[in-house]
Structure 1
Amino acid sequence: MSARRRGLRRLTGHVPQPLMIGAGILIFFIVLAVGAPVIAPYDPIYQDISARLAPPSLVHPFGTDNFGRDILSRVIWSTRIDLQIAFLGVIFPFIIGTAAGTIAGYFGGLTDTLFMRLIDIVLAFPFLVLMLAIIAILGPGLASFYIAMALVGWVSYARLVRAQILVLKQSDFAMAAKSLGFSHWRIMFRHLLPNALIGSIVFAMSDAVLVLLNGAAISYLGLGVQPPTAEWGIMVAEGQAFISIAWWIATFPGLAIVLLAFGFSLLADGLGEKLGVRP
């Protein structure tokens, strides 16, 4: 039985508690993101100077910021941006790294050597420093962040997939496919890759935590999402100056970051436990 079929069979059995809790947290944030226009009580960029720095109350459950903007509404609307950061910041490195790892592992030889040396070059630089350098060259904004994540984050997926392909290409079903005269691309992407993706998918759930935190950090430094757009990292940065007199400005978006990151972590742990893969 192939690794893909074993993985699908495991999914039909008992669901680990971390997987259920993590999925529940993620679904909760997705509902907030989709229903933001209905759920949020105020416009996230509407300014009411008469209500500036108002503490949490029935009118403003999470209080207001220094411009009188409702924190609860801004946290809810920020969910759209931060979920986008988590998903797109993972999917681009996932696609690039998966393709590179598959090609390197399958063909081996000089192709594998060149890919591995390129990986060594990328890993020689600290992750965040290299990412900041790329964003500084391209200019601030989410597009630059996604490009930086794709150029830096693909190496982990490439190494994971390459290791799986090196093992799978020696298996009986791969040898049978070669003996039947199938093309290299068909063997790689139709027979080998589906069986090699399980570990990468589990890692992607865990990697989403790092991407989310990096996205918040980039916005905190002023290189990501630009004001007045509501985003958790920006809100934490704006609340830093008022932390002693208006703790709620930075606290609630910070808690949202922690909760969503916790959800992705539980999802990765539960999925790894379910599929028998260590995240």
Structure 2
Amino acid sequence: MSVSTARLPLSIGFSRWLGRHLTLALGLGLLAFFIVVALAAPLIAPYDPVMQTAEVRLQPPSLSHPFGTDNFGRDILSRVIWGARIDLQIAFIGVIFPFVIGTLLGTIAGFFGGFVDAVFMRIIDVILAFPFLVLMLSIIAILGPGLTSFYIAMALVGWVSYARLVRAQILVLKNSDYAVAAVSLGFSRTRIMFRHLLPNAVAGSLVFVMSDAVLVLLNGAAISYLGLGVQPPTAEWGIMVAEGQPFITTGWWIPLFPGLSIVFLAFAFSLLGDALGDMLGVHE
């Protein structure tokens, strides 16, 4: 009797937590799955992802090749598993630099205002005058294909959204009572910006990070699809979709499984963004 009464509150508590945070649990579960797959790729991939075997070209899914093989005889499952490493790297690194740069610039512009803010807004207007993907492609074309060029292009273009979000919050918060009190107490501008204003202004950006990770992931896949991102024979989902396009009717499994991987990873980030927005009381 005592055992059942002790367990009942725990089960009820878990059920209530799961009901309130189901979106968070699903998002974390999906993302954790992809991270584990990426980290364990050398252990769980059944074949070398770049090994070509002419005898098994364009084989449909089977017991020996659960996801089939491509036109070079490479195992699709192994390439999807190893591709998780590249695409997770694209999603994470592709948002870190724009987030840091945009948050810093938005804080400075919103706090100082005046001439600094005017220059800041004109720079944003110039960047927004060009379509995002076109500007990225132009930068990558100048720097040359590859992930490094992609990350540089994301840092130069992607910071705008974060900066605008943080700037708008700082403009409101710097007139709040605690900010005025901090100025009256003689605190330095640096302390007021980064210890008092920024922690309260960054919530919206943290939520946007998850949504932006989806866009970065899709942009990375698109860049690789166009031949300007990760270069063959490296296993990357965007490249795999591009390589499978000519065989869409005869080898449907070649683009299907990497395409589904992109969808599910993007879905994980979307779920996390929704859950984080609910927890922080921020809605985009």
**Cα distance between partner residues in 2 of 1:249 and 1:181:** 64
TM-score normalised by L of structure 1: 0.94
The Cα shift of 1:15 comes to: 4.4
The question of 1:196 aligning with 2:201 is answered yes
**Cα distance between partner residues in 2 of 1:152 and 1:13:** 38
**Cα distance between partner residues in 2 of 1:189 and 1:266:** 29
2:222 to 211, 217, 222: 217
Corresponding residue SS for 2:51: coil
| Matched-pair contact (CA < 8 Å) for 1:48–1:69 | yes
The CA RMSD over aligned residues, in Å, is 1.3
The equivalent of 2:148 in structure 1 is 143
1:206 to 208, 211, 222: 211
Structure 1 unmatched runs, 5+ = 1-11
**Cα distance between partner residues in 1 of 2:212 and 2:98:** 10
The Cα shift of 1:16 comes to: 2.5
Percent identical across equivalent pairs? 76
1:121-270 matched pairs, under 5 angstroms: 121-270=126-275
| Matched-pair contact (CA < 8 Å) for 1:15–1:274 | no
TM-superposition CA deviations, 1:219-244 (whole Å, max 9, x none): 00000000110000000000011111
Report the count of equivalent residues. 268
**Cα distance between partner residues in 1 of 2:148 and 2:127:** 20
TM-superposition CA deviations, 1:239-275 (whole Å, max 9, x none): 0111111110000000000010111111111111121
TM-superposition CA deviations, 1:30-85 (whole Å, max 9, x none): 00111111111111111111111111001000000111110000000000000000
The equivalent of 2:62 in structure 1 is 57
1:101 to 100, 106, 118: 106
Of residues 101-110 and 171-180 in structure 1, the stretch that sits farther from structure 2 once superposed is 171-180
Of residues 157-166 and 42-51 in structure 1, the stretch that sits farther from structure 2 once superposed is 42-51
Which protein, 1 or 2, shows the higher relative CO under an 8 Å CA cutoff with sep ≥ 6? 1
Instruction: Give the aligned residue type for 1:267.
Output: L
| Matched-pair contact (CA < 8 Å) for 2:18–2:25 | no
**Cα distance between partner residues in 2 of 1:153 and 1:15:** 32
Instruction: Give the aligned residue type for 1:228.
Output: P
Instruction: Give the aligned residue type for 1:131.
Output: M
The question of 1:32 aligning with 2:32 is answered no
**Cα distance between partner residues in 2 of 1:39 and 1:169:** 52
**Cα distance between partner residues in 2 of 1:72 and 1:203:** 32
TM-score normalised by L of structure 2: 0.92
Corresponding residue SS for 1:69: coil
The Cα shift of 1:14 comes to: 7.5
| Matched-pair contact (CA < 8 Å) for 2:31–2:265 | yes
Corresponding residue SS for 2:247: coil
The question of 1:83 aligning with 2:88 is answered yes
Largest Rg, 1 or 2:
2
1:66-81 matched pairs, under 5 angstroms: 66-81=71-86
The equivalent of 1:20 in structure 2 is 25
The equivalent of 2:12 in structure 1 is none
Structure 2 unmatched runs, 5+ = 1-16
TM-superposition CA deviations, 1:100-156 (whole Å, max 9, x none): 100000000000010011101100110000110000011000000001111111110
**Cα distance between partner residues in 1 of 2:107 and 2:236:** 36
